[in-house]
Amino acid sequence: MSSSARGSNRGPAAAAENRHALLSAARELFAEKGYNVPLSAIARAAGVGQAVLYRHFPRRLDLAFAVFEENFTELEVLAADQGPDAFERFFARLVDLMIESLGFVELVVGARADYEDGAGRLAALVTGPLARAQRAGVVAGEVTIADVDLALRMVYGVAVTALDDEQRARDVRAVHAELLTRWRT
Protein backbone atom coordinates (compact mmCIF):
# COMPACT_ATOMS: atom_id res chain seq x y z
CA MET A 1 0.00 0.00 0.00
CA SER A 2 1.45 3.37 -0.94
CA SER A 3 1.93 6.05 1.66
CA SER A 4 -0.65 8.23 -0.10
CA ALA A 5 -3.26 5.47 0.18
CA ARG A 6 -2.50 4.99 3.87
CA GLY A 7 -2.31 8.65 4.65
CA SER A 8 0.75 10.15 6.16
CA ASN A 9 1.67 10.78 9.73
CA ARG A 10 1.62 14.55 9.95
CA GLY A 11 2.88 14.50 13.54
CA PRO A 12 2.77 17.85 15.34
CA ALA A 13 1.16 19.52 12.32
CA ALA A 14 -2.04 17.59 13.06
CA ALA A 15 -2.11 18.34 16.79
CA ALA A 16 -4.78 21.07 16.72
CA GLU A 17 -6.93 19.08 14.30
CA ASN A 18 -6.60 15.94 16.42
CA ARG A 19 -7.47 17.82 19.61
CA HIS A 20 -10.55 19.30 17.96
CA ALA A 21 -11.62 15.86 16.68
CA LEU A 22 -11.13 14.34 20.15
CA LEU A 23 -13.16 17.08 21.86
CA SER A 24 -15.94 16.77 19.32
CA ALA A 25 -16.10 12.98 19.62
CA ALA A 26 -15.92 13.11 23.42
CA ARG A 27 -18.66 15.75 23.65
CA GLU A 28 -20.96 13.59 21.53
CA LEU A 29 -20.16 10.31 23.29
CA PHE A 30 -20.25 11.78 26.81
CA ALA A 31 -23.68 13.23 26.07
CA GLU A 32 -24.93 10.00 24.53
CA LYS A 33 -23.29 7.32 26.70
CA GLY A 34 -22.12 9.15 29.81
CA TYR A 35 -18.80 10.00 31.39
CA ASN A 36 -17.57 6.39 31.57
CA VAL A 37 -17.70 5.75 27.83
CA PRO A 38 -14.51 3.85 26.87
CA LEU A 39 -11.71 6.20 25.88
CA SER A 40 -10.93 3.83 23.02
CA ALA A 41 -14.39 4.59 21.60
CA ILE A 42 -13.65 8.32 21.75
CA ALA A 43 -10.30 7.88 20.00
CA ARG A 44 -11.92 5.68 17.35
CA ALA A 45 -14.74 8.19 16.75
CA ALA A 46 -12.15 10.96 16.44
CA GLY A 47 -10.16 8.93 13.91
CA VAL A 48 -7.00 8.87 16.02
CA GLY A 49 -5.13 6.31 18.07
CA GLN A 50 -5.34 6.09 21.84
CA ALA A 51 -1.76 7.35 22.13
CA VAL A 52 -2.86 10.60 20.49
CA LEU A 53 -5.77 10.88 22.94
CA TYR A 54 -3.45 10.38 25.93
CA ARG A 55 -0.91 12.82 24.53
CA HIS A 56 -3.59 15.53 24.55
CA PHE A 57 -5.50 14.36 27.64
CA PRO A 58 -3.46 12.24 30.09
CA ARG A 59 -6.50 11.62 32.33
CA ARG A 60 -10.19 11.13 31.61
CA LEU A 61 -10.76 14.12 33.89
CA ASP A 62 -8.60 16.35 31.65
CA LEU A 63 -10.68 15.39 28.63
CA ALA A 64 -13.96 15.90 30.47
CA PHE A 65 -12.99 19.34 31.75
CA ALA A 66 -11.92 20.37 28.25
CA VAL A 67 -15.18 19.09 26.77
CA PHE A 68 -17.35 20.74 29.39
CA GLU A 69 -15.38 23.96 29.78
CA GLU A 70 -18.04 25.79 27.77
CA ASN A 71 -20.67 24.55 30.23
CA PHE A 72 -18.62 25.89 33.14
CA THR A 73 -18.08 29.18 31.31
CA GLU A 74 -21.84 29.52 30.80
CA LEU A 75 -22.45 28.73 34.47
CA GLU A 76 -19.84 31.31 35.50
CA VAL A 77 -21.73 33.98 33.56
CA LEU A 78 -25.00 32.96 35.23
CA ALA A 79 -23.33 32.91 38.66
CA ALA A 80 -22.02 36.45 38.16
CA ASP A 81 -25.55 37.78 37.58
CA GLN A 82 -26.41 40.04 40.52
CA GLY A 83 -30.18 39.66 40.19
CA PRO A 84 -32.19 38.05 43.00
CA ASP A 85 -33.47 35.35 40.62
CA ALA A 86 -29.98 34.44 39.40
CA PHE A 87 -29.85 31.38 41.67
CA GLU A 88 -33.06 29.95 40.21
CA ARG A 89 -31.84 30.57 36.65
CA PHE A 90 -28.44 29.06 37.54
CA PHE A 91 -30.05 25.98 39.05
CA ALA A 92 -32.49 25.70 36.12
CA ARG A 93 -29.55 25.67 33.71
CA LEU A 94 -27.85 22.95 35.74
CA VAL A 95 -31.04 20.92 35.49
CA ASP A 96 -31.16 21.50 31.73
CA LEU A 97 -27.56 20.31 31.47
CA MET A 98 -28.58 17.14 33.30
CA ILE A 99 -31.21 16.53 30.68
CA GLU A 100 -28.91 17.41 27.78
CA SER A 101 -25.73 15.65 28.84
CA LEU A 102 -25.37 12.89 31.37
CA GLY A 103 -21.62 13.15 30.89
CA PHE A 104 -21.57 16.68 32.31
CA VAL A 105 -23.71 15.55 35.23
CA GLU A 106 -21.42 12.63 35.92
CA LEU A 107 -18.42 14.95 35.84
CA VAL A 108 -19.93 17.30 38.40
CA VAL A 109 -22.01 14.98 40.57
CA GLY A 110 -21.16 11.34 40.06
CA ALA A 111 -18.12 9.72 41.67
CA ARG A 112 -17.02 13.05 43.18
CA ALA A 113 -14.22 11.33 45.08
CA ASP A 114 -12.43 10.72 41.77
CA TYR A 115 -12.58 14.32 40.60
CA GLU A 116 -13.22 16.72 43.43
CA ASP A 117 -12.21 19.58 41.10
CA GLY A 118 -15.58 19.57 39.30
CA ALA A 119 -17.70 19.44 42.44
CA GLY A 120 -15.59 22.11 44.13
CA ARG A 121 -15.74 24.38 41.10
CA LEU A 122 -19.51 24.06 40.95
CA ALA A 123 -19.91 24.68 44.69
CA ALA A 124 -17.87 27.87 44.32
CA LEU A 125 -20.15 28.99 41.51
CA VAL A 126 -23.34 28.28 43.51
CA THR A 127 -22.21 30.22 46.58
CA GLY A 128 -22.74 33.76 45.27
CA PRO A 129 -26.15 33.32 43.61
CA LEU A 130 -27.46 31.34 46.59
CA ALA A 131 -26.35 34.01 49.08
CA ARG A 132 -27.87 36.80 46.95
CA ALA A 133 -31.16 34.89 46.63
CA GLN A 134 -31.24 34.39 50.39
CA ARG A 135 -30.54 38.08 51.08
CA ALA A 136 -33.33 38.99 48.64
CA GLY A 137 -35.72 36.65 50.44
CA VAL A 138 -36.20 34.45 47.37
CA VAL A 139 -34.59 31.34 48.86
CA ALA A 140 -34.91 30.28 52.49
CA GLY A 141 -31.91 31.16 54.65
CA GLU A 142 -31.40 27.61 55.85
CA VAL A 143 -30.67 26.26 52.34
CA THR A 144 -26.96 25.39 52.18
CA ILE A 145 -24.47 24.43 49.51
CA ALA A 146 -24.75 20.88 50.89
CA ASP A 147 -28.51 21.03 50.22
CA VAL A 148 -27.86 22.10 46.64
CA ASP A 149 -25.33 19.28 46.24
CA LEU A 150 -27.84 16.78 47.61
CA ALA A 151 -30.50 18.13 45.26
CA LEU A 152 -28.18 17.74 42.27
CA ARG A 153 -27.45 14.16 43.25
CA MET A 154 -31.19 13.51 43.54
CA VAL A 155 -31.79 15.00 40.10
CA TYR A 156 -28.88 12.97 38.78
CA GLY A 157 -30.45 9.78 40.14
CA VAL A 158 -33.70 10.59 38.38
CA ALA A 159 -31.84 11.46 35.17
CA VAL A 160 -29.77 8.28 34.95
CA THR A 161 -32.62 5.93 35.82
CA ALA A 162 -35.05 7.28 33.23
CA LEU A 163 -36.07 4.81 30.56
CA ASP A 164 -35.78 7.33 27.73
CA ASP A 165 -35.01 10.97 26.96
CA GLU A 166 -38.65 12.04 27.17
CA GLN A 167 -39.10 10.54 30.63
CA ARG A 168 -35.76 12.00 31.73
CA ALA A 169 -36.83 15.52 30.77
CA ARG A 170 -40.27 15.19 32.35
CA ASP A 171 -39.09 13.65 35.61
CA VAL A 172 -36.07 15.91 36.07
CA ARG A 173 -38.22 18.99 35.54
CA ALA A 174 -40.74 17.69 38.10
CA VAL A 175 -37.99 17.22 40.69
CA HIS A 176 -36.62 20.67 39.84
CA ALA A 177 -40.03 22.29 40.44
CA GLU A 178 -40.44 20.44 43.74
CA LEU A 179 -37.01 21.52 44.96
CA LEU A 180 -37.63 25.18 44.13
CA THR A 181 -40.96 25.05 45.95
CA ARG A 182 -39.24 23.67 49.06
CA TRP A 183 -36.41 26.20 48.91
CA ARG A 184 -38.55 29.30 48.51
CA THR A 185 -39.31 31.40 51.56
91-123 confidence digits (pLDDT tens): 999 888 877 776 666 666 544 555 455 567 778
Q: What is the pLDDT confidence band of residue 164, given thresholds at 50, 70 and 90?
A: confident
Does a structural domain hold residue 1? no
Q: Residues 99, 163: one domain?
A: yes
Q: Which residues are 184's β-sheet partners? A: 139
In this predicted structure, the answer to whether residue 39 has a pLDDT above a threshold of 90 is yes
Mean pLDDT of the chain: 83
- CA triple 123-129-131, angle to 5 deg: 90
Does a structural domain hold residue 5? no
Supply the range of the domain harboring residue 105: 60-183
How far, in Å, CA of 12 to CA of 17, rounded? 10
What is the pLDDT, as a whole number, of residue 67? 83
Q: Residues 30, 65: one domain?
A: no
Does a structural domain hold residue 3? no
In this predicted structure, the answer to whether residue 6 has a pLDDT above a threshold of 50 is no
Q: Residues 100, 143: one domain?
A: yes
Q: Residues 96, 20: one domain?
A: no
Does a structural domain hold residue 117? yes
Whole-prediction pTM: 0.71
Q: How many domains is the chain built from?
A: 2
Q: Residues 65, 126: one domain?
A: yes
Q: Residues 47, 87: one domain?
A: no
In this predicted structure, the answer to whether residue 3 has a pLDDT above a threshold of 60 is no
Cα first-last separation, the chain: 72
* Per-residue model confidence as pLDDT tens digits over 128-138: 999 999 999 99
Q: In terms of pLDDT, which residue wins out, 123 or 19?
A: 19
